[in-house]
Amino acid sequence: MPQFNVATLLHDPVGASRRALLEDEPLAVPLAGYSTLASGPVELIRTGRGVLVRARLRVRPTLECARCLTPTSIELPLAFAEEYVPLRDPVTGVPVQADPDEFRIDAQHQLDLSEVVWQYEQAALPLRPLCREDCAGLCPVCGQNLNARRCEHEAEPAEPWQGLAELAERLRSEESDGGPEA
Ligand SMILES: [Zn+2]
Ligand SMILES: [Zn+2]
């Protein structure tokens, strides 16, 4: 998990910083069957209230292909800056107030990036992830994955176009009815 102990950084003056590099760090994601890996540089900067995290990451979530449902790893760039607030002031021990949607450094001074990376990743996910651009999908009749093997239903005419073809035919004949050569 992309986690940092910031106990000493919290005792440093404002502006002090640390750098770290994530390398295929798995995130703790609250979804069954979903996994994601994060890589890239992270900078932790002491602020007046806590620690500012600046990150430029490359995440590789595993998603289901929208056409053939095969688990598929895609790659997305993410960049963010978010401030984390400690539960208690590191010097005085006084509890620090924060909004419910602010990120917190826990009682053991651990700053965990899983939640923030997950949120930014969710916002960046494609609506229809594909295993490849020209994924052939599943046969609507028998469910065969058409990337792996053809099936006998493939040659059947696609119903939705039938109506359009008839309409085009009618328009063509109406046109020629009214035309000079009719
Ligand atoms: Zn696919
Ligand atoms: Zn089929």
Convert the pLDDT of each residue in 106-116 to its tens digit.
999 999 999 89
Mean pLDDT of the chain: 89
> How many other CB atoms sit within 10 Å of the CB of residue 78?
18
Cα of 147 vs centre of ligand 2, distance in Å, is 12
Torsion of CA 139, 145, 150, 153, to 10 degrees: -10
CA of 59 to the centre of ligand 2 (A): 35
Ligand 1 mean position, distance from CA 69 (Å): 6
3-state secondary structure of 83: strand
Tell how far the Cα of 33 is from the centroid of ligand 2, in angstroms: 27
CA of 137 to the centre of ligand 2 (A): 11
Q: Calculate mean pLDDT across residues 139-147.
A: 94
The beta strands (E) that lie in 16-154 are given as: 17-26, 35-46, 51-64, 71-73, 76-86, 103-105, 110-112
Q: Ligand 1 mean position to 36 CA, how many Å?
A: 19
How many angstroms separate the CA atoms of 141 and 78, rounded? Answer: 39
Beta strands per DSSP E along 49-179: 51-64, 71-73, 76-86, 103-105, 110-112
pLDDT tens string 2-17: 899 999 999 999 999 9
pTM, 2 dp: 0.74
Task: Tell me the sheet residues that pair with 4.
Answer: 111
